[in-house]
Chains A and B, each alone.
Chain A
């Protein structure tokens, strides 16, 4: 699929020149006396280090393709994403809630990934890291953002509307009936950014995958084909993992006697 247009290899000095943007940011926060210098430094260093590491890992994988290594990397990405959700949600998470997050992330992303790879793209061998890992990254990353939003909305709603949920139980509602409205609101809040990203794609911004492919010389129409497929795949993965999460998540607020836990 690549055409024979040569890509400019960035030299060390060219990459270094890009760090001027960080220097600019540092100058701004220092000038405005905003105490963010440490975070800016740490995150730009982390970004550099993580990407360099990933670059070497990918290079190794491309030279030594193996079903085990590809699976291992994807599982590691999944684990890191789940851990990241635990960190990003404000407030403590119960053990059951963590389990709900982990289960919905794993099932939602893996099912979507399998469908996307085996039915939509159909690359061979199935573990080809050149395809498998970037696609997994996009699907896992977007599901992570979706579930984080879902957890946030669900916990906030169940906190602020506790008396409403309980009033429904008092009338004989099942936990499912009593929480239906706020579970739907949480699902909606979690998938809205994904839906919006489809609306803006191509006009407001050129999505990253397509941009990357175009820069590296791929025919824009081919790049767009991939981009459309991946945006649809992402939407499906986010929807699947978030609906799984909401269905498992609300139940963690009730005990087996269908009472709200304290």
Chain B
């Protein structure tokens, strides 16, 4: 469970109290520019609030070793990023960065298929389209297998059918392995369909409290 108490960050985040479960699927909604990404960056410990405290599993962030926390609570940025040349290298990067042992080729293929990416492992990754790179990034994250996934509009470059399908399959896998997911969604319908909880930007930007 994540807890934010009296957290203020720049003039973006301002919340008295906010609790987000770490073992279910939560959608973060709100207009663009309302601080949704900043909330995920706070939870990933990429930024530190100016005042107040954030904690995960009851332990304040200031007591966490930052990379240790991030290896349990991983984030996916909205713009997909490539690490390495081939599809395989890119899939392996998450486990490499987080100090986990290397995954077998079968596992790489399975994760790619789970995210509907049908590519040869030896294909060059830079030839992939934006949508394919997003699916590659999702598969990389799935392989890394943290306890909580923080997803910043993970399917924004996909067409609607594909978007729903990929989310469906990703979340099914996360639920199966009892992982938590916090995802930002621009589409209310998708948030309502997939999430167990919805956190609206109002609850962490206007000094408000929990609204799930």
Complex CA gap A170/B148 in Å reads 12
A171 near B98: Cβ-Cβ < 8 Å: yes
Of A23-31, A119-127, A161-169, the segment with at least 4 beta carbons within 8 Å of chain B is: A161-169
B77 near A170: Cβ-Cβ < 8 Å: yes
**Minimal beta-carbon separation of B37 from chain A (angstroms):** 12
Complex CA gap A164/B97 in Å reads 13
**Minimal beta-carbon separation of A24 from chain B (angstroms):** 50
Q: Chain B residues with Cβ under 8 A from A171's Cβ?
A: 70-71, 74-75, 93-94, 97-98, 140-141, 144
Contact with B along A168-185 (1 / 0, CB 8 A): 111111100110000000
Contact with B along A108-123 (1 / 0, CB 8 A): 0000000000000000
Complex CA gap A174/B66 in Å reads 9
B77 near A172: Cβ-Cβ < 8 Å: no
Q: Chain B residues with Cβ under 8 A from A260's Cβ?
A: 46
Q: Chain B residues with Cβ under 8 A from A177's Cβ?
A: 96-97
> Of all chain A residues, which has the CB nearest B72?
A172
Q: Chain B residues with Cβ under 8 A from A172's Cβ?
A: 67-68, 70-71, 74, 97-99, 144, 146
Q: A172-B67, A258-B67 are in contact. Are A166 and B99 (CB under 8 A)?
A: no
Contact with B along A141-173 (1 / 0, CB 8 A): 000000000000000000000011011111111
* Interface status of A33 (Cβ within 8 A of chain B): no
Q: Chain B residues with Cβ under 8 A from A258's Cβ?
A: 66-67
Q: Chain B residues with Cβ under 8 A from A178's Cβ?
A: 97
Q: Chain B residues with Cβ under 8 A from A257's Cβ?
A: 45, 48, 66
> Of all chain A residues, which has the CB nearest B100?
A172
Q: Chain A residues with Cβ under 8 A from B46's Cβ?
A: 166, 169-170, 259-260
A173 near B67: Cβ-Cβ < 8 Å: yes
**Minimal beta-carbon separation of A66 from chain B (angstroms):** 52
* Interface status of B185 (Cβ within 8 A of chain A): no
A170 near B74: Cβ-Cβ < 8 Å: yes
Complex CA gap A259/B48 in Å reads 9
Number of interface residues of B (CB under 8 A): 29
Complex CA gap A121/B77 in Å reads 56
Complex CA gap A247/B42 in Å reads 28
> Of all chain A residues, which has the CB nearest B82?
A164
> Of all chain B residues, which has the CB nearest A257?
B66
* Interface status of B79 (Cβ within 8 A of chain A): yes
**Minimal beta-carbon separation of A177 from chain B (angstroms):** 6
Partner of A164, one of B68, B70, B81: B81
> Of all chain A residues, which has the CB nearest B68?
A172
Contact with B along A61-91 (1 / 0, CB 8 A): 0000000000000000000000000000000
Complex CA gap A166/B82 in Å reads 12
> Of all chain B residues, which has the CB nearest A259?
B46
**Minimal beta-carbon separation of B88 from chain A (angstroms):** 16
Q: Chain A residues with Cβ under 8 A from B71's Cβ?
A: 171-172
Q: Chain B residues with Cβ under 8 A from A174's Cβ?
A: 67
* Interface status of B47 (Cβ within 8 A of chain A): yes
Q: Chain A residues with Cβ under 8 A from B79's Cβ?
A: 163
Partner of B97, one of A163, A166, A168, A259: A168
> Of all chain B residues, which has the CB nearest A168?
B97
Complex CA gap A171/B144 in Å reads 8
Complex CA gap A172/B145 in Å reads 12
> Within residues 89 to 148 of chain B, which ones have a CB less than 8 A from any CB in chain A?
93-94, 96-99, 140-141, 144, 146
Contact with B along A235-260 (1 / 0, CB 8 A): 00000000000000000000001111
A166 near B77: Cβ-Cβ < 8 Å: yes
**Minimal beta-carbon separation of B159 from chain A (angstroms):** 24
Chain A residues within 8 Å of B, Cβ to Cβ = 163-164, 166-174, 177-178, 257-260
What are 23 A-B pairs with beta-carbon distances under 8 A? A163-B77, A163-B79, A163-B81, A167-B77, A168-B83, A170-B44, A170-B76, A170-B77, A170-B150, A171-B70, A171-B74, A171-B98, A171-B140, A172-B67, A172-B71, A172-B98, A172-B144, A177-B96, A178-B97, A257-B48, A259-B47, A259-B48, A260-B46
Can you name 6 extra interface pairs (CB under 8 A) apart from A163-B77, A257-B45? A166-B46, A167-B77, A170-B46, A171-B97, A171-B140, A172-B144
Chain B residues within 8 Å of A, Cβ to Cβ = 44-48, 66-68, 70-71, 74-77, 79, 81-83, 93-94, 96-99, 140-141, 144, 146, 150
